[in-house]
Amino acid sequence: MKFSTFTQVVSLSSLLLGVQGISLDRNEACKPFKPFQPLPSSHPRTKTCKVEANGHGRDDSNNILKALKECNNGGKVVFDKDFYTIGTALDMTWLKHIDIEILGHVQFTNDTDYWQENGFFQTYQNATTFFELGGEDVNLYGTGILDGNGQAWYDLYVENELILRPVLVGVIGLNGGTIGPLNLRDSPEWFHFVANSSDVLFDGINIAASSTNSSVEVKNTDGWDVYRSTNIVIQNSIIQNQDDCVSFKPNSTDILVQNLYCNGSHGISVGSLGQYVGEVDIVENVYVYNISMYNAENGARIKVWPGISSELSVDLQGGGGSGYVKNITYDTFYSYNVDYAIDVTQCYGQDNLTLCNDYPSNLTISDVLFYNFSGETSTAYEPIVGTIVCSSPDVCSDINAYDINVVSPIGTNEFQCAYVNETTLAVNCTET
């Protein structure tokens, strides 16, 4: 690990746990880089409400709503009992100037029938959430655990890939807030879905997902999926999952990601984009700094669907959308046992390269920088360590790669390159 994540988490925890009665400066917590736009400070909290626990697996949702209503507009809600159970979908989009401190273990029930019928449907890629956290100036943190009880969902997914698995943390319509430090465990699907939100700091998140059934794998447990949101900071966190560590979905702008340790993921990903015909997807102004990526499919990744509908799997298919990717920087990136250190594709969801070339992506990719990469890839594609492949020279421009010092286990550092200006790539390009 190239940075002291645990030290940073403890430092921020001390800051947040003393937030009652003082003003939290989120900008001071953003280090080493500041957000694209200043984050609003948090108002003082002047009262405290404790959440009662019914115990014996009984639903504590009414107790939670009661405490939130009592301490909204200037208070702090504390989960200070050992164990809480949530069995009801909670709409918390009305919160304002409030802290939520999790000290105990908060677990969502494994009633898969209930959650499929009552989870909050988010439209994009059929995502649903256990709850919706939104409003203004909301801080969620603590030394406790949010537990998605994911094993029941992992088992069920093997039987039916089209089930609606809830996202553990739904940040929906939040303007100004801080999430973390916090421990998140075993989300049924993505750990965070951040939609229609702005000026939010995620700091000191510890994510882990695992299956207790050796024949069942954890599936689609992205760390963060950011969608239609702006000025988001994700930093100082540990992510052990399967699928994207962080993914910038359509219309994500002004995003800063720094100081992450990712293990077992699919990378820090722009996209996927262009999935839906008639929709315009934009990802612009993204800065990714100081990432340690272990045992993953990809390191830095940009994934765009081709210009015609295609299928990746039963529950993921599409293509033909439009838009652009612009001003993306990956700076200081260490990889170990990663299949591709860098992966740029405009043929996501389609193995037929002829089809992709005949129907180039409708999205353009421009002003991209990969800088200061080091480490060693897996044996999966050796001697190739990365791929930068566009579907047409008309849709890719100003893609740059410098100081790329990643090698395969046999010592090679070759890249597959196509339809891209190789003079701006300080890598060893080979034919695809």
- Catalytic annotation, residues: 266
Residue 117: helix, strand or coil by DSSP? Answer: helix
* Cα(157)–Cα(163) distance, integer angstroms: 7
Name the token pair of 365. 């990719």
* Cα(186)–Cα(170) distance, integer angstroms: 15
- Residue 20 burial class via C-beta count within 10 angstroms: exposed 0-12, middle 13-18, buried 19 and up: middle
The answer to whether the CB of 209 falls within 8 A of the CB of 150 is yes
Name the token pair of 350. 């389609």
> Terminal CA-to-CA distance of the chain, rounded, Å?
33
* Cα(343)–Cα(237) distance, integer angstroms: 23
Name the token pair of 213. 């059934």
Q: What are phi and psi of 26, to 5 degrees?
A: -65, -30
CA angle 123, 130, 147 (to 5 degrees): 135
* Cα(331)–Cα(74) distance, integer angstroms: 39
Residue 354: helix, strand or coil by DSSP? Answer: helix
The answer to whether the CB of 242 falls within 8 A of the CB of 187 is no
The answer to whether the CB of 206 falls within 8 A of the CB of 192 is no
